[in-house]
Structures are given as C-alpha cells and as structure tokens.
Amino acid sequence: REESFRTELVLCVVLLPLGFWLGDSGVERALLAGSLLLVLAMELMNSAMETVVDRVSLEWDELGRIAKDIGSAAVLVTMLNVLLVWGLVLIPRYL
C-alpha cells in the first residue's frame, strides 16, 4: 500500500546485487546489504505506526503528527546510514 516502501524495495532490488558484487569480503557484503535491508525494516515499522495512529483517530492530532514525523525521521536516519556505509566501504577503494 505504501508508495515509499515500493520505491525503497525497487532500489533495494537494484542495489542489493550490486552490493554483493562490489563487496570484497563477507563483512563488506553484509554491511552493504544490511544497510539496505535496515531501511526496508524501518519503513515497515513506520508504516505500522502510522496505521496504528490512524486507527486510533482519523482526526488531526498533534501527538499523532509528532509520532508520524518521528517515524519518518527514523527512516531518513536509516537512509543516511546507507549513504555512510556505502561511502565508507566504496570511496576509499576508488581514491
């Protein structure tokens, strides 16, 4: 149901094989793949939390908005983690 999850899933399907190919060791492959899977897991948690907030009340609520914003921020942090991990693993190799 969630467009953002579908987009992240497509990116994961593209980047996951690339991560296995670019990683030189099992640890590198695990870091590259794990960072991508963490985004999907966090997006699922965010979607679940948003569903619960909407189930409790469809009326606008300040605490509900804050909860949804925090969930979205958690997804953003995991996306930044992908950039950090992929950058730290791959950039030194090409510099």
**What residues act catalytically?**
43
Render 11-26 in DSSP notation, one character per residue.
Answer: HHHHHHHHHHHH-SSH
Q: What distance in Å separates the CA atoms of residue 31 and residue 12, rounded to the nearest whole number?
A: 14
User: C-alpha angle with apex 57: 51 to 62, nearest 5 degrees?
Assistant: 95
Both tokens of residue 60? Answer: 């606008």
